[in-house]
Structure 1
Amino acid sequence: MMKKILIVLLFPLLIFSQTNFEKGELLLGEAKFKQAQLCFENFLVSNPSHLKTIEYLGDIAGHTKSWDNALLYYKKLKQLKPNEANYYYKYGGALGMKATQVNKFKALGMIGEIRSSFEKAIVLNPKHIEARWALIELNLQLPGIVGGSETKAIQYSNELKELSPVDGYLARGHIEEYFKRFSLAEQQYKKAIMIGKSNVCSQKLADLYKNKMNQPQKAQKVLEEYNSNKKYY
């Protein structure tokens, strides 16, 4: 009984003793982004170079599509720790999203920095998977006249295959699907399923059958096979 009383009495003190950073992490885990943002901002006042706080604020800004704010935070991270690959990746991603919200002329002027940010992430971390995915998408979405390239996209998918065979097959399948070579995409997704045995892999093939190849029965079969086999994976 005495222990329970002590816990009740101490609990408010424990909450009070938490730093704004710790409170922010708890709120972020509960997806209470605005409240978490306030805690992190307050913590940053007295800890202006705290990397994780700045990163959290950048992530929250990205979640709320405040791309200018996200860029400010990620740029600060690059300045504080210029050898961290993920900061360049996040900066490039935020810049890419901002490019979708400005006029085409201004967006064209941003392409070089977007690409170089992802490339820098790979230089700093040769095993960076997400940066290669981003470069694949960039090369697919951009017209050839401003730097888009199927050849480069395939090159990055081959690099992915060396790092993570599942990602490599999924990436190559995505490329084939983008260019409407659906039978080739199907082959790649099947290879990904054989290795990955995951819902992501099965869903990609099912979506291809349903949305691109007009074969809903095949799509259903793929998902049923995954659900019946996942307990053995």
Structure 2
Amino acid sequence: MKNILSFLLLFPLLIWSQSDYGKAEKLFKEGKYEQAQPIFESFLKENPSHLKTLEYLGDIAGHQKSWDKAIVYYKKLKQLKPSEANYYFKYGGVLGMKAKDSNKFKALGMIGEVKESFEKAIELNPKHIEARWALVLIYIQLPGIVGGSETKAIKYSNELLKLSPVDGFLSRGQIEEHFERYPSAETQYKKAIAAGSTKVGGQMLANLYKNKMNQPEKAAKIKI
């Protein structure tokens, strides 16, 4: 009887908490991060190991470009559930953004961990598309002397091609464009469009015509 009475006394609080949390999730999905944040933070104080709340707060910090805060949240997620690929992917992403905003010497010291995080995400989830995309972009943007590699970028692009032809063609187009092989990039973007990427592929092709190949008339003809 005592247990039942305790539950009945606690029940209104549980209902309020669930309702409040649902409101925070709705605000998050609507992009109202600043309103959702204090609700999630309050919930986390009572439930410090709640995975979804940590992820929400990490995502919010990322949207706010508060890289250090996001790193803390995602790092804790990795520790609590080291088998979840997306936690490594998100951790690598915000770590990469912090490196991008840091001075060159500090950034160079972080690149290794960024790569390892994306590689771990792929190890845990062999079909992880976003982590491969991230590695393609890292390897083409980094100078060779500090770890850049067209060969490795192509390797991950080929893996994307097997998982998703659209992503394979688009990523290979990005590689070709980066190394100024514009006709080859054009071919890859056209393949992506034919494979179904009308919007993204069309935009990349239009940008290539307009910004790199000096052919604005071709860009204007692309329907996006």
TM-score by length of 1: 0.87
Aligned partner of residue 118 in structure 1, secondary structure: helix
Query: Deviation per CA, 1:68-92, whole angstroms, max 9, x where unpaired?
Result: 0000000000001000000000000
2:67 aligned partner: 67
Amino acid of the structure 2 residue aligned with 1:145: I
- Write out per-residue CA displacement over residues 161-189 of structure 1, whole angstroms, 9 at most, x where no aligned residue: 00000000000000000111100000000
Asked if structure 1 preserves the Cα contact closer than 8 Å seen for 2:206 and 2:222, the reply is yes
Find the counterpart in structure 2 of residue 80 from structure 1: 80
Aligned-partner residue type, residue 185 of structure 2: A
1:181: which partner in 2? 181
CA distance in 2, matches of 1:205, 1:163: 22
Runs of 4+ residues over 3 Å off in structure 1: 15-20
User: CA–CA distance in 1 between the matches of 2:178 and 2:131?
Assistant: 19
| 5+ residue gaps, structure 1 | 1-14, 227-233
Deviation at 1:141, TM superposition (A): 1.3
1:39-58 equivalences under 5 Å are 39-58=39-58
Judging changes above 3 Å, is the alpha-carbon distance between structure 1 residues 123 and 186 closer, same or farther for their aligned structure 2 residues?
same
Shift of 1:198: 2.2
Using the TM superposition, name which of 99-108 and 126-135 deviates more. 99-108
* Aligned mates of 1:78, 1:20 — CA distance in 2: 27
What is the deviation of 1:142? 1.0
Which residue does 1:115 correspond to in 2? 115
Range with bigger deviation, 65-74 or 191-200: 191-200
Structure 1 residue 166 corresponds to structure 2 residue 166:
yes
- The equivalent of 1:154 in structure 2 is 154
How far apart are the structure 2 equivalents of 1:21 and 1:44? Answer: 11
Q: 1:16 Cα shift?
A: 5.1
Question: Which residue of the partner structure matches residue 205 of structure 1?
Answer: 205
Stretch deviating more after TM superposition (210-219 or 122-131)? 210-219
User: How does the TM-score come out when normalised to structure 2?
Assistant: 0.90
Q: Does the 8 Å contact 1:59/1:70 carry over to 2?
A: yes
Preserved CA contact (<8 Å) 1:20 1:42: no
**Deviation at residue 45 of structure 1 after TM alignment:** 1.2
- What is the rounded CA distance, in whole Å, between the counterparts of 2:174 and 2:45 in structure 1? 44
RMSD: 1.3
- Which residue of the partner structure matches residue 5 of structure 2? none
SS at match of 1:100: helix
Q: How many residues align?
A: 210
